[in-house]
Amino acid sequence: MHAVLLDEANRAIEKTLPARGNDYRPGYHLAPPAGWMNDPNGLVFFRGEYHVFYQHHPYSVHWGPMHWGHAKSSDLVHWEHLPIALAPGDSYDRDGCFSGSAVVAHDRLYLIYTGHTWLGAPGDDSNIHQVQCLASSTDGLSFSKHGPVIEAAPDPQTLHFRDPKVWMREGQWWMALGARHGDDPQLLLYRSDDLYHWDYLGCALQGQREADGYMWECPDLFELDGCDVFLYSPQGLKPSGYDNWNKFQNSYRMGQLDDRGRFSECGKLYELDHGHDFYAAQTLLAPDGRRLLWAWMDMWDSPMPSQAHHWCGALSLPRELSRHGERLRMRPARELQALRREHWALQVGAVESCSHTLQLRGALLEIELELDLAASNAERFGLALRCSEDGREQTLLYFDAMARRLVLDRQHSGAGVSGVRSIAVSLSQTRIALRIFLDRSSIEVFVDDGAYSLSSRIYPGPDSLAVRAFAVNGAGVLGNAQAWELADLQL
């Protein structure tokens, strides 16, 4: 039965491909061939290649019964779409193969995922059943389902119970699950010797609705530079100051996980990325010891104009994680330098209360430059990106001297999108180093060697290609810049 459902899903993709529009299609980000994409799941290195699975609805451009899409790469740059790995349809997952993870054991690739069923009307989140399921493959392409390995939540009041993250710790398999107990979020832990039989260790961390939201989705637990990191996606946090302005967030806490399965926090809650579109981040441990991360580069309820083009959703660039005190630092994976093509060296200098067009154009660009705060007296200054000739379309990235913030403004970034996001700049800081990645429908900004990042979708027209430096009410000084045209590897 599963083979039949997979065949139908793959045929649906093939049928849609001739009608797909590519105006917003990423040149070097992973996006579905057609249909809907959301959370990355099942990140794994298997037989010399990186595999990325993702939540996928092949039959439409809207969220629906979740399948697992699948792609692989040998170098984190060139990706190959593979046949859909999992399709819902069995009694335990008939309404969705929800998020999970992938591990390698005895040279087999195992997928661990949440099987979802609606007990009442579809979409009624108060009447559901979720179980944790196992599937495996000997070749990394075709997967056999083994059914549920955890049949129910440990407490009847725990309704939402999903997104298993599995990893090896001291010779045993551990599983982290996000849960909702009443109106409070929980992190639950299990342990196993064989991936089939699991013992419940307990609630590793208990949240409170008012401070922590009502659900912690897509948990990830990993050790990084001597500290354990709990990475997760809290739902239900209220906006506070400049924080938590997306519908849902991607956040993390530092702490220590003990052998009994209790997580002790030793730092505050931080947002992982400060842009408009970043959710459900997951990591894998690369063979060389790096901790790599991807996220869904979209947000629930956001405008998604590519739906009119028969596809929707994209993943962020792969990022290398490191620890900087009680914060995480994210840098673009070093392999991405292989995308670079034509190079420009730009001398920008002072820009005084005007806009200066740079000798740089393109939809697929990488730009490195510094904003010299100490030498500037402008009220705001920075770059206008993906500009149309008439100035009606532009994405602004600038330093606001009055608010002491670095601002990403997409009020005029093209079809459907709007809104402003920003990060704080300390009074003692004299320069801001920027590394910017532009794709046809996205911008990712890495600030001060990855201390912060802002990731957002933008949808400018195909002819909005100019880059300008600008300053308002004074002079802004931009250091020498360099830029690269990036390879178009559109899939």
Which residues are the active-site residues?
39
CA distance 361 to 190: 52
Phi, psi of 175 (to 5 degrees): -130, 130
Phi, psi of 170 (to 5 degrees): 50, 50
Burial category of 137 from C-beta neighbours within 10 Å (exposed 0-12, middle 13-18, buried 19 and up): middle
DSSP codes of every residue in 2-54: HHHHHHHHHHHHHHHGGG---TT--SSS---SSEEEEEEEEEEEETTEEEEEE
Contacts of residue 340, Cβ cutoff 8 Å, sequence gap at least 6: 366, 484, 485, 486, 487
CA distance 390 to 253: 45
CB count within 10 Å of CB 19 equals 9
- Most distant CA pair in the chain, distance: 68
CA distance 271 to 267: 13
Phi, psi of 306 (to 5 degrees): -70, -10
Locus of tokens 């392409």: 141
CA dihedral 45, 51, 56, 61 (to 10 degrees): 140
